[in-house]
Structure formats: structure tokens, C-alpha cells
Structure 1
Amino acid sequence: MARTISGTLASVEALSRWRDPEKGMISPGVFIPLLEDSRQIRKLDLYVLEEICRLYQQQLAEGKVVIPASFNLSRMDFFQGSIFEDVEEIRKRYQVPRNMLYVEITESVFVHEGDVLHQEIQRFRQAGYEVWMDDFGSGYSSLNTLKNYSFDEIKIDMAFLSQFTEKSQNIIKAIIRMAKEIGIHTLMEGVETREHAEFARSIGCELLQGYYYGRPMSFGELSQAYQENHWQVETPELRRYYGALGPVDFQTDKPMAVAEVGRNRFRYLFANEEYGTTIQSAGMDSLRQSAVFVNAQAGPISKNIQNFLTDVVSSRTGKDLTYTVNGQYMQLKANHLASHDQHHLVLLHLTNFTIQKEKDLAGDLDWVIRNMMYLYRHVFLVDTKDDMVIPLVMNSPFRKYLFPKRSGVRELVQEYVETMIHPSDRDRFLAFNDSHSLMERIRKSPEGMISGGFRTLGNDGEYHWDIHSIFPAIRKGKVYLLYTARHFPKANA
């Protein structure tokens, strides 16, 4: 079974296949009913379990990867003595942890309800086994069964995908949403095409099984496929980690994404269409560009988002962040879901206030930012690629030297230092503005910007200590530099 969110190999299902030397492959649909009618099916089911345990012990002894496996129990298994005790005897003999074995019970078993069935399933779950309902939706009693029994996972019958119509898709969506509401994990059987897999991923189905990933194969063939495809096998810890996504509603109409934060790296695992549209409204072409922006080692916005996510992860709670990017007011809501080995899952919701109903809030933010501009003596937008400087705020004597746009960044810096900077500070100022080392210094800065104090000419004709700062800003995929100077009254010369 493959996990939709990560592509990891979550488990395998142990199946019975009969290869007759004369008749070839005999379908399970032929010999399973015969074994059930003759009450011999228990021998086959326990043999399959013993093979799983034997191979587990063999792989462990050889230092190889062990893969969790599910095994099937038939209807008759529950009415010929305690099947739980027989399973436990085999498991203990091979010392297999219970969390490496999943018990699959087909839906048809529950047609014959009774105290014995309830008790045995209860014993499995209380002992630490996961119990799955197989072929969910194949019979008439599915919802009653969910009401009367407790399961860890349901396997949605492959019949729903055999005719991939809009109606069948809507039914599957409803099943997934219902399962999330009552706290049951989901697996879709019969996945044969990329379209099937993408659909399942988009609606939040957690696991997939079917010919799209591989036909039934022997253990030797599985080992070879595992090596050739470089599959990552889930450990029980990793299964719990990704299992935290079980309750998440992927079918929401709100902009939603799931991301992983860890080891100084942010990456998206999933984003719905609405989230992608909101990202584009903020001037990002794609999720990839958005992730690059968040991971950027320079720029106060990127650093602010990184610090925000760090706070969410360290506090294990939900937080909100409002910021501006490309002229848009954005609100990012993040909730911590799970942690594993320095990796953390977070649920994200993103709102663009500028284009959403919250325009009054966007107006308030715009008013605040405009008033904040009065704190600065000047703000320059520097286009290093086109060698252009654009003045945004000019509250200093230098305004008479700078027209709406000015080309020649290096020449402008030289003119500024000779006009505005105290002679004793000019060498430091030129080193501060050195274009060759500028971006490297910004990248190394924890704040995503560089700052320096220089005595700067004021409107009164006197030099005052100002804080000069430089930081990058991205607009429509292009990197600019913002240069600001702000009075620092407590350090007057």
C-alpha cells in the first residue's frame, strides 16, 4: 500500500495464490469458497500468517528492511475456537511486534453478527493490533457494521473505481469525509491509473492499493522491486506521523495546504486548487516558487515566515501571521499536526485580504503601513539588474539630488556618501554598500537584512546617527533591494 501524501510504502497485503502444475493459476474465487465450505480455511489463513512472521524474522536476522503486512481472516475463523489466541501463538513464536501486523476482515463476515465476533475483534484491538474492514461498500451492511464495530481503517471496495463516473467519485468523496468525521483511516483498492491516484490524493484518501503500483508478486519479486524503485518503507513511528493527517479535511473550499518543516527546509506535501490560486494572486507562479521564497536565506519576509513556522512547531499550537508580499496583504494560519525525527507536519490556510471580503482589514493595514513610512528619512527601491534606483520616501536633504528614477547605482552611492555621510564614517559606509559582498552578507544575517549606524546629514544641517538597512524584496519573481534610513535619537553625536 502506498501513502498518497508521501509516496512511501506503508505496508503490503499477504495474498494466497494457487499455481497448479497442470492447470496453471487457479483463482482465489474458486478455492477460497471451497475451503470455507469444508471448514479448512482456518488452516490456510494461519499458514499465511506464519509465512509473514517467518519472513519477518528472516529479514530481521539478515539486517534487511522489514515491511508491515496485513493478513485476511475469513468468516469461519471466528467460529472455530479463539482465532485471537491462534494468531498470538504464531506471532509470539516468531517475536513479531503487533504493530507490524494488520488484521483484515472482509465486510461479508459481519452479516453473521454475534457476541463471539465482537469479543474477538475487541481482543485484537485491545492487544494493539490494527483491525481493518476489507471491501467496504461491497455489501448492504457497511454503515451498520461501522456503527456496531470499531475499526482502525476501511478499505474502499475496488468496484467504485471500476466505473470511474462522476457519481462513483461523489460516493467515494462522501465515504472519505464520513470516515474522517468518525476517526477512521482510509485506503482505496483497485487503483489502476494515474487519474485514480491523483483523485484519491486530492480528496484526502490516505493509502492506495492496486495495479498502478504493482500486480500481486512473490516475496522475492517484492524484494527486487523494493530495491529497484528505491521505495522508502514506513516504520511504525513514520506511520503515526503521517497518520496525523487522517482527520484533515482535504475537500474544504478554503485555500489549504499541508507542509513539512524541518532541518532548515520547508516543502509542500499537498495544496488544493484554492491554495494555488491564492499563491498566484500574491505574485507567485507556482507552489515551487512559493517554497523557494519561504526557504530564502535572505529577506525579512522570508525570515519572518520561517520564525513564525518555528514558533508553531516549538509551541505545538496554531498561530496566525499577517504580512505583505508583492503589494498584497496575506494572512497565513498554521497548525502543528505531528513531529518525527526533526520533521514536522503543519496544516496551512492562506488568505489574500486584498482580494477577499476582508477589504476593510486590508484598508486598515494599508493605512498603518503608510503612516509607518514617516519613521524613515528615506526609502529607496534598488533594481540591481537594471541598475536603477527609485525613491519611495525622501525626508532628507538628498531629495534635491534624486529625481523619480536614477540610473547608475554605484555612482549614486558615491554621490550620497559625499553629500550625506559624515567624513569619519564614509569608509565604513562604502564597505557597508559594497555590491560584491552585499548579498552574501544578507544571506548570512539571521534577520535576513544588514544594518549599520552612520552619522547622516539632517534637514537642520547637522549630522545625526541614523540606522541604514538593506534587505531584499521579491516582486513578480524579480529580486529588488530596499534601502532604508531611520533616525536613531538615543545615539546622537
Structure 2
Amino acid sequence: MDADIGKKTILIADDAEPNRLLLKKIFGGEYYVEEAVNGVEALEKLRQLEDVAILILDIVMPLMDGFSVLEEMQKDEILRTIPTVVITANNEEDIQIRALSCGATDVMAKPFSPLIILHRIKNIMARKDSEKLAEQNRAYRLELKLMDTDEKSGLFNKNAFHRYTKKMLQKNSDKKFVLIRWDIDNFKVFNDWFGTEVGDTYLKKIGDFFREYEEKNDSVKTYARYDADHFVCCQEAEGFDPEEITQIIDDYMTHLKTIEFEYTPRVGLYLINDPSLDVALMCDRALLALRSIKDSYGKRYAWFDDSMREALLEQQEIVNEMEFALRDGQFITYFQPQYNYETGKMIGAEALVRWQHPRKGTILPNKFIPLFERNGFISRLDEYMWEQVCIQLKDWERKGLNLVPISVNVSRRDIYNPHLVGNILSLLQEYELSPEMLHLEITESAYTQNAEQLVNTVNLLRIHGIEVHMDDFGSGYSSLNMLQNVPVDILKLDMRFLGGDYKDERSGNILNAVVRMATALRLPVLAEGVETKEQAEFLRSIGCLLMQGYLFSRPMAVEDFEKLLDGSQTVSALDKSYVESFQGSIDLLSFTSQSTLLFNCFVGGAAVVEYDEKDEVLLALRINDQFLREIGITRMEYAEDGQSIFRYYEGENRVLVISMLQEAIHTGKETCCEIMRKSKLHDMEDNWFKLRARLLKNSMSKHFFYVTMENITIYKEQTVENEKLVHCLSALTNHVDEGLLVLELSENIKIQYSNVRIAEMFGYTQKEFQELFGNDFLLSIHPDDKVLARENFEQILRAGNGVGRRIYRQTCKNGYYEWVSMTGCVVETEKDHICICTTIEKDDENKQRY
């Protein structure tokens, strides 16, 4: 049996033993032979044996003939692949045809020549081995193709492009080639806006573009989707026109625009002078050329040149030296202070890195930070800087200096570190620092690239008391949209958001809106990159008071910053008046649909307004529809007018409104005023309004109010009519001989009205009489007669329509008393008071001087 190890197996199925012995003698020298005496046993052994190379099958057998065995084999996926040679004593053609149609590989008639059958069996096995090898090769080639293919575009992937381009350059050493690289502008934005499914379809269509380009251009070339939204093509340089290829790409991309999305093609080109150069390096050089025109609207393509090569060499030199520089302490911490522009106090500082090179001097961050972010070294530099800041804070604390929080940068790569929070907390614990002293700055773009993980990390940091700032706010593309979900403590507004023309009305309005939105979200805004007084004043005017930039100080070395800490006023936290909540009013500024519905359904006009006390500007942060209807304009007209409330309250009305707001600021109580607004339309009457204001929040020179408006025109008209009526009645009552009083019976007996005659009767002026006795008429009556007078009023109340007169003594201005008689009747009865109209006359019969 050991001699048969490694031999191929032949199964002979024949019920005649002499035939089996003969065949075994023929094949036994080169093959391992198994036997079966019938069809059933043949099938069993086919299933039991691991690898039968060939089956020699007799047609006529007991239990199951050869045809039945063939039919059963065809039903089995594995058995039907085994070559089968049928042997038969019957040489009829129809028997042979039937055997072949049932799946037999060959048919041999008895008797047979041993040499012929041996060679025929060998040939069958050779063909089988050849087919098997070919199938393996096809599968291997398919696997290689799949490994080389980018699944989204159908083009070569990066590795395949490197390999096939190298072979192409070697095979065509007599030709010059150019490497082309281009990308899709803002493809991540495209995916975020329209979804990755639409983005993948876009990539597939770009793959179709390359295949069409190959068909139309017969030059030798390779092409690939290099990574993300970058594509590369290497083709013959002869006849290559950069303007033409740029236009071809532009035309095709324009043709693809089924969705409104702006795309401007820019192409980086590298002429291959040294075919032995690594293809990956060629692609990097084309990328450098592409990046050189990324922000240039005038250039659509650029060739890699010597200056870029020098930059590449400089970058390589940086990479070669970065490890040693970190170990040698060449990375130095600088500090740029941050100020509250309104108070002039320093409220913090940002830690910035400088590379103090022993030969080259100071290397600025823009030379090495982007490179470190690409190669991952930025994470190690960040951790180094965090510790240096902690060391410095501890040193200042020991020196007794006025500490301010220091902000350190956290790169996008740091967010992927699962130990980030633990590392920060360990540093604070090691150097015994309060979490409030170390602030973390994370760029806005980091929130857009890995939002879920970053938000979770930031939430954990804030739970431990570490303040997080969003750096470079405004430089990204989804800033306004993301703020509803982003957990940050301060927005750092990049002044590049304004560009060079920040005084442009549109730019100013955009920035104004951003600051107002941040205020509504209770997020302080710190503007960085402030360089001029003009910029600072503009920022102050829109409510952004926290600033950082060259106007105040350039980044400075530790020694200089220490002097600043030692000699200037500092605060370790923001002024509470700046960051305090809206005292429950934040819901009034909520932009939820429920809040909007509720706000617009308030009875009467309502608005949340901002009053700039310094510049006397009154703007509405939110205003409901009824308020606009009361003013008499549409919301569109109001927006076009610039949202200024004062536009509708000029002259005396403006003075009244300002006085109302000033009173609310100083008292903290609800205040009101009544104003009249003249209609712009000649056929409409003037209207009177009552404004009520309640202070919500103070922020330096800005104040926020909740203001309501009520149309009181009808009430004012009735008041005027009543005043006219009262004037007529007064003129009438002042000419009668008796004194006339209208008294209100409540806890005290108050004078609602008195005519001139009653005051004259006792030597007073009407004004004096009202001031002395207006709140309690009983004070004018002799003490001994007060009970009698009270009883008289109660008698009048019981009688209702009137009573006889009562006698009592009334106080005179000269100190004497006069006897008087009083009659009266009830004129009004309400729940809380009763009004009595009383007539008083002198009673000379009882007159007595004291």
C-alpha cells in the first residue's frame, strides 16, 4: 500500500472478475486501483474515496447497470466531474451514443488492447489536469483583477496603477510620458449634500469617462482612481495638450451635472524625465502641482517645477529631522493673549508652537504642521505641547502670577485616539491643575469628518470640566447647520471668514447673523486674527467682544508673556454678565417649530429685541406676525427695512420708547409707555399703542427685552370722550352753591371727585383739599364725628336712592370747624368698592367756633 502513495486512483466497476484482473494488471503499475462488482458498490466507493482520477465502468452489471450509474453521477455536483470510460462487449453504435449522452468521457469495446487503453486513459487524465489548471489560472486572474480594481469606479486602484504604470514605462523606454492628476472639488460636500449613493454613481460615471477617453485616444496610457476623489492618468507626452485635457474633463463633468453642483477642474501635471523613479513619488509631484493652483481662479492646470521639487525636498528634510527635534526640545511654546475688548482685560491665551531649528532659526507652523497632519506625527507633537503648557502653568502658579486659561490645539488625528480623554486628565492630575485652566481647541473641519466620535469625546471632556472651543469657525461649509448638535463652549471665529472686504454690507450682515445666532445659543464668540482697530470696532458693534490677534499682541515667548501676566489686569473666566443665560428667556429665541407656532399665536404683538444703549439701535431678534400687523407692514417689508424697530418710532415716540427701556434696565421691572403712530396711508386713521417691556439679559452695552404691543386706540378715544364729558360736568358742578363729592367706600373713604365749592367752603384750594383728604375723606371730619359720618355712609348704602341729611363738623384750613349737613345716594356698586355722590352744605344753626 505504501508503494501506492502519491499515485492517482482508478476505480474499476465490472461484475466479471477476469475483466477486473486484466484491467488491474494493465493499470496497477502506474495507478492505485480500486474495484467494484456492481453499480451500487461503484457509487458507494466514488463517494467514499477522496480523489478518484478516473472511473472504468462496465455497462452490464447486476443491481445497477452502467447507464444508471452515469445518470446518478450527473445528479451529483462532484461525481459528474470525474472522467468515466465505459467498456462494453456490445459494439453497437446506439449503445456508445447513449453512454456518451449520459455523461461518459469515452467508450471502449471489448476485447481491447492493453497499450491502447493505457494511453487513452493517460490522455484523458492529462486533458483533465490541463482543464483544472486552466480553471485555476482563470480564477487567479479574476482574483488579481478584483484586487487591482477600484470597486466604485471600475478603474485600477492605487497599487495596480503603480505596478502597471511601472511596467508600461519599462516597456516603452523610448517614449516620454506625462502623469496627470485631478480631483473633484468639494467631493465630501457633494456626498454630504446628496448622499454617498449619488456620490458613488458619480465615481462610476467618471470611470466611464476614462474608458471613453481610452477608446478615443490611441496613445499608450494607464489610469486609476487614486484615492477618495483623486484620479490619475499616465499617457504619452507626444501630442499632449494640457488645455485640451482640462477642457475635456470640464466638458464631461458639465455633461454629468444632473444635480446643481459647481465644479471647476484643476489639473496637476508631472513630466516624467526619469522612468526609474517610484511611480508613487511621481503622483506626489503631480499632487504638489495640483495644490499650487487650488485657490487660484485664474489657472486651471500647473506643471510640477523645480520650486515644487525644492518644497518636496524641504518637506523630506523636515520628516527626517522631526523625531530628533522633538527629543531635543526644539519645539518651543509661544503664547498669544486673548482679550475682552470692552473691558481691556486679558481673559486667556492660545498656546502656539514654533520650531527653533539650530541652523535654520525659527520655523513657522505653516511649514511643518500640514505635513505632520498628513504623516501622523502631529499627534505626538500635540501631546508634547499639552504637557509643556501644563508644566508652564504649574511654574506660573508657583511664582504667584495671575493665571489665565491656556488653549491648546487638538488635531483631527487625536480624536481617533481612544486614550485622548485619559491622557488629558492624567496631565492635569500629574501637574495638579484645575480643568478650567486648560482649554482645548478643535477645528471646525474635524466635526464634519468624524462627527459622532468627536461629539462623544467632547461630551466626555466637558463632563470632566474641560472647556472646548471650536477653532476656525466659518472656514468650513456646514457651520450653521452643525451648531445645533455640536457641544462646544466658545466659537473661535476666523477673521478670514470676512475676507479683505469685511465692511461690505453683505459680509457684515453675514457676520452679524453668525454672532446673533451664537448669542441665541448662549455661545460666546472669540474672533481671532484681529489686526486693526477698525476690525475690532466693527466686531464690538455687532456684539463680539472677545478678540485675539496682532492688534493686541503677536505670539510671544514665555518670558514676555510672564511679564504680561505679572503686570496687567487679568480674569480667569469670562465676565458673568457676558455669558449668563437669558434667565429663562432662551425659549423665546428657540427656533423649534413648536416655539415658532407658540410665539406667533401669542395674543397681541410680541417681539424679542436687542437695544444697543451706546449707539441707540433697536433691532428685533424675533417678532411675531401680530406685531407686524400692528405696525402696518408685511414681514418682507420689515426685512427690507433692516429690522430696525426705531424706524417706526420717531420723534417724541422714540424718546418715550427709550425712556421705557432705560427704566426697565435700571429697575429690572416691567415698564410701559403709550405712543401714537401716524399711518403712511392718507385714508387710515392714526393708532395708539401701549408697549410693555421686560428686561431679559444685559450684555455690556447691549440689552435684550421681551416687548409686547397692544392697540389701545379705542380705549384712548373713549378716554378723550370721557375727559370731555368730565370737563363739561366739572364746569357745571363748579357753579352750584353746594359742595359736591364723589366718594369711594373701600377700606378708606377716598375722594374720586370734588368740585371747587367744597374746597372754598373750608378755606382750601381744590388741589389742597384733594392732596390732604383725597385718600381718606374722614381725615377732614372732627374726630368725635367720624363714627357718625361712617354711619351716615352706611345709611346711604342701605337706603340706596338717598337719605335725609346728617350733621357733623368739617375741618377748616384756619384750624376751626364748620357744622355741615350731608345728603347722598349710591351711584355705583362693585365687588371691591361702592361709589356715593354726596352734597354738603354749611349748617349755620349749629355753627360753633372752637
- What TM-score bracket applies, with the shorter chain setting the length? 0.5 to 0.7
Shift of 1:178: 4.0
Shift of 1:463: 3.4
Distance 1:362 1:219 in 2: 70
Out of 573, 592, 605, the position equivalent to 1:235 is 573
Distance 1:111 1:462 in 2: 86
Shift of 1:225: 4.2
Name which one, 1 or 2, has greater alpha-carbon Rg: 2
- Which amino acid is the alignment partner of residue 413 of structure 2? M
Cα pair distance change 1:169/1:467, threshold 3 Å: same
Q: Which runs of 5+ in 1 are unaligned?
A: 259-267, 295-304, 313-318, 378-394, 396-455, 470-483
TM-score, with length taken from structure 1: 0.57
Equivalent in the alignment of 1:134:
471
Equivalent in the alignment of 2:610:
256
Is 1:50 equivalent to 2:50 in the alignment? no
Q: How big is each residue's C-alpha offset from its partner over 1:52-83, in whole Å with a ceiling of 9 and x where there is no partner?
A: 33333334344432212221111222334411
Equivalent in the alignment of 1:463:
763
Equivalent in the alignment of 1:108:
445
Q: Which runs of 5+ in 2 are unaligned?
A: 1-337, 590-605, 619-643, 676-687, 735-755, 781-810, 812-850
Shift of 1:90: 0.7
- Which amino acid is the alignment partner of residue 514 of structure 2? I
Cα pair distance change 1:335/1:20, threshold 3 Å: same
8 A contact 1:19–1:26 mirrored in 2? yes
- Superposition RMSD in Å: 4.9
Equivalent in the alignment of 1:207:
546
Equivalent in the alignment of 1:413:
none
Q: How big is each residue's C-alpha offset from its partner over 1:139-190, in whole Å with a ceiling of 9 and x where there is no partner?
A: 3454565466433332222212332233322332333344445554433222
Cα pair distance change 1:347/1:184, threshold 3 Å: closer
8 A contact 1:104–1:134 mirrored in 2? yes
SS of the residue corresponding to residue 9 of structure 1 reads strand
Q: How big is each residue's C-alpha offset from its partner over 1:112-135, in whole Å with a ceiling of 9 and x where there is no partner?
A: 427643432232123232222211
Equivalent in the alignment of 1:222:
561
8 A contact 2:444–2:476 mirrored in 1? yes
Is 1:150 equivalent to 2:501 in the alignment? no
Shift of 1:85: 0.9
Q: How big is each residue's C-alpha offset from its partner over 1:413-468, in whole Å with a ceiling of 9 and x where there is no partner?
A: xxxxxxxxxxxxxxxxxxxxxxxxxxxxxxxxxxxxxxxxxxx9975252359987
Distance 1:196 1:368 in 2: 56
SS of the residue corresponding to residue 337 of structure 1 reads strand
8 A contact 1:12–1:68 mirrored in 2? yes
SS of the residue corresponding to residue 256 of structure 1 reads strand
SS of the residue corresponding to residue 353 of structure 2 reads coil
- Which amino acid is the alignment partner of residue 672 of structure 2? L
Cα pair distance change 1:458/1:25, threshold 3 Å: farther
Larger relative contact order (C-alpha < 8 A, sep ≥ 6)? 1
TM-score, with length taken from structure 2: 0.35
Out of 494, 512, 515, the position equivalent to 1:176 is 515
Shift of 1:29: 0.6
8 A contact 2:608–2:705 mirrored in 1? no
Distance 1:39 1:360 in 2: 72
Distance 1:359 1:66 in 2: 57
Q: How does 1:41-440 map to 2 (within 5 A)?
A: 41-110=378-447, 112-113=449-450, 116-142=453-479, 145-146=482-483, 149-163=486-500, 164=502, 165-182=504-521, 184-205=523-544, 207-225=546-564, 230-235=568-573, 238-239=575-576, 242-244=579-581, 256-257=610-611, 271-272=616-617, 281=652, 305=663, 309-310=666-667, 312=669, 319-322=670-673, 331=691, 333-337=693-697, 347-348=704-705, 360=713, 363=716, 367=720
SS of the residue corresponding to residue 475 of structure 2 reads coil
SS of the residue corresponding to residue 191 of structure 1 reads coil
Distance 1:462 1:96 in 2: 82
Equivalent in the alignment of 2:321:
none
Equivalent in the alignment of 2:779:
491
Instruction: State, as a whole percentage, how many aligned pairs show the same letter.
Output: 28
Cα pair distance change 1:368/1:73, threshold 3 Å: farther
SS of the residue corresponding to residue 60 of structure 1 reads helix
SS of the residue corresponding to residue 372 of structure 2 reads helix
Count of residues in correspondence between the two structures:
358
8 A contact 2:668–2:694 mirrored in 1? no
8 A contact 1:161–1:191 mirrored in 2? no
